[in-house]
Amino acid sequence: MKAEPGDSGTTRLSSRRGLIKGAALGVALPSAAALLGPVLATPARAATPAASATASATAALPDFAPVPAASFGPAVNSDGYFVGQIKGNLYWVTDSYYQAMFLTTREGVVVVDAPPTIGNNLLRAIQEVTRSLGRPSRVTHMIYSHNHADHIGGAGLFGGRVERIAHVQTRELLRRAADPNRPLPTTTFKNNLVVEVGGERLELAYHGPNHSPDNIFIYAPAYNTLMLVDVIFPGWAPFKNLAESQDIPGWIGAHETAHAYPWTTLVGGHLGRLGIRADLDVQRDYVGDLQNSVRKTLTTMDPTPFFEKYGATGNGWAIFKTYLDAAAQQAAAPVISAYLGKLAAADVFTLENASAMINSMRIDYDVLGPFGNHA
């Protein structure tokens, strides 16, 4: 994590309001209008065909196990956000779906990420805190955790005078995206970057691809806080397909890298609360249990019915699809029952997580089951 002298990749720097208003998790059940804003906020007349179609679509949706109370974070205010002090001059903001972090300094504010769902509320939160502290409220630096629009698509709200810092690959991916909401970084780094502004310090490190090719670790050593986005989901099962990770072995490895940092507080980028070390432990267990269950399924599940049913038709993809779907069901089942009540939404995304783990075990780890080396 220390800057590496002589490494060309190391640099030292000295120097829809209302979109989800009132729709915060655990605070109130969001109405569709509150979630989707003006699009659906047009007066809904009862008993119109559209209204009854909406009602029956709602009724057809599945029910899931209740979210454990410990998975919720603090309530959001009437504007739809919560801002809280992590420690010292370090703060975090959430709308209960996404999270950003910021550091107040003598010279201005350093923000990490700008999720569009928080949007202008991030500016409000910064104003609120800096005003009460009598510190400068101007955002001078913005750090991108990674290139994904759902975490930095609000960056355009901060104007052009901000120094934007990101990994070199983030710049390449954003260049390709050409998205005005995600302006290109002005400073990039390859391995490590220490950001020092107004007496405060953040250590940025690249440890290889994980959730995305460019996802970085952001560490505030004075406050023992690690921000690592889309890897650890405190209190919750990981998002669909193992957090839609582009490099699953890298994503699994990122748990170990995170473990090696001496943090006590984790900002995971999602949902409504901060993480503690026990949250990392339980997610490592979940991922390990899922991996074991998938391995067991791939090495023991009988593929005969799938070949018998579709082999004669010559439809090879039908064999694969039905086999892989059945394997995901079988591998997910014990993990869902083990984590229900421990991790929120274990019954929501574990099937897709098992499916993603199966693909990774097959192609990254060579656990090919019936599709291994021919005798």
Residues of the shown chain interacting with Zn ion in the complex, contacts defined by CB under 5 A? 148, 230
8 Å CB contact between 92 and 124: no
- Residue 103 vs 216, nearer CB to Zn ion: 216
- Residue 230 vs 279, nearer CB to Zn ion: 230
- Give the torsion through C-alpha atoms of 100, 105, 108, 110, to 10 deg: -30
Instruction: Please state the closest distance from residue 283 (CB atom) to Zn ion, in A.
Output: 16
Q: Give the CB-side neighbour count of residue 69, counting CA atoms within 13 A.
A: 0
DSSP 12-37: EE---TTSSTT--TTTSPPPHHHHHG
8 Å CB contact between 170 and 146: yes
Instruction: Please state the closest distance from residue 323 (CB atom) to Zn ion, in A.
Output: 30
Between CA 24 and CA 122 the distance in angstroms is 15
Instruction: Please state the closest distance from residue 206 (CB atom) to Zn ion, in A.
Output: 15
Contacts of residue 246, defined as CB under 8 A and 6 or more positions apart, other chains included, come to 209, 211, 212, 213
Instruction: Please state the closest distance from residue 27 (CB atom) to Zn ion, in A.
Output: 25
- Residue 203 vs 214, nearer CB to Zn ion: 214
**Which residue in the shown chain puts its C-beta closest to Zn ion?**
148
Instruction: Please state the closest distance from residue 169 (CB atom) to Zn ion, in A.
Output: 13
Residue 167 host element (H or E): strand 163-167
Rg (CA), the chain: 23
Instruction: Please state the closest distance from residue 149 (CB atom) to Zn ion, in A.
Output: 9
Instruction: Please state the closest distance from residue 360 (CB atom) to Zn ion, in A.
Output: 17
Between CA 299 and CA 189 the distance in angstroms is 43
- Residue 72 vs 251, nearer CB to Zn ion: 251
8 Å CB contact between 295 and 367: yes
In this structure, which amino acid lies at residue 216? I
In this structure, which amino acid lies at residue 21? K
- Residue 79 vs 150, nearer CB to Zn ion: 150
- Residue 224 vs 241, nearer CB to Zn ion: 241
8 Å CB contact between 275 and 268: yes
**Hunting for tokens 């400068």 — which residue is that?**
136
In this structure, which amino acid lies at residue 205? A
- Residue 150 vs 289, nearer CB to Zn ion: 150
Instruction: Please state the closest distance from residue 146 (CB atom) to Zn ion, in A.
Output: 6
Between CA 271 and CA 239 the distance in angstroms is 11
Between CA 248 and CA 215 the distance in angstroms is 13
- Residue 148 vs 255, nearer CB to Zn ion: 148
